[in-house]
Amino acid sequence: MDSTPSAPTPDGTAPAASPSADLWKRLEERCGRRQFLLKSGWLFFWTFLGGWLLSNLRYLFPNVLYEPTSVFKAGKPKDYSELGIIEKWKKTQRVWLVKTPQGFYCLWARCTHLGCTPNWFDAEGRFKCPCHGSNFNKDGDVIAGPAPKPLWRCAIQLGSDGQMIIDKGRLENRPGSREKGDFFLPTT
């Protein structure tokens, strides 16, 4: 501390100490520097220990990802009278239902290049991806563009109530395998 006396004020009284100096002086009297460092150290230790214990407690509970189910009912086959691409489920389920004279199949509306959602152009008879220009025919095969594989087909079957059940969790895109089994629903 400065031990030099300060000059008196014009009215002859001694100058008052600054408020910040008073604050530090009171803090020094109440809790010395050593006590402050000791208490700060203990506070840091208990905060660290509490955080560590809470993180270990959080470890005991599983991380659950709540996603909507990948299986949905698409209605009865007789509800779809027109042949061709049915875009009814594109926005809500991200799939196209395709009706052919032989039966139904379902295409997942996800480009195999980078995952964008292609659009169906009825006049051209093809799906076009707006991101990088991949083109797919009605069967989902690659016509042009950077897409490496055909569009995925979702599993489709007839439920006990007569409705088509589409499972987006089971996919197939290999020619030959996708036209039969669980990935094609005959109309008979």
pLDDT of residue 177: 79
pLDDT of residue 1: 47
The reply to whether 47 falls in a domain is yes
The reply to whether 12 falls in a domain is no
Alpha-carbon gap, residue 145 to 148, rounded angstroms: 8
pLDDT of residue 41: 93
Alpha-carbon gap, residue 107 to 127, rounded angstroms: 11
User: Could you tell me where the DSSP H helices lie in the chain?
Assistant: 19-30, 33-59, 90-93
pLDDT of residue 115: 86
pLDDT of residue 167: 92
pLDDT of residue 54: 94
92 with 182, same domain: the answer is: yes
36 conformational bin, left if phi > 0, alpha if psi -120 to 50, beta if neither: alpha
pLDDT string in tens for the chain (188-residue length): 455 555 556 666 655 667 777 887 887 777 777 888 888 999 999 999 999 999 999 888 888 888 888 899 988 988 888 898 888 988 989 899 999 999 999 999 888 888 888 988 988 888 998 888 889 988 888 888 898 889 999 999 999 998 999 999 888 888 887 787 888 888 87
Task: Print the domain residue range for 23.
Answer: 19-59
Q: What is the CATH number of the domain that holds 101?
A: 2.102.10.10
118 with 163, same domain: the answer is: yes
Alpha-carbon gap, residue 65 to 75, rounded angstroms: 28
105 with 145, same domain: the answer is: yes
Chain centre distance of CA 79: 34
45 with 101, same domain: the answer is: no
CA dist 88 → 96, 139, 140, 166, 170 (Å): 7, 18, 18, 13, 20
pTM to 2 decimals? Answer: 0.62
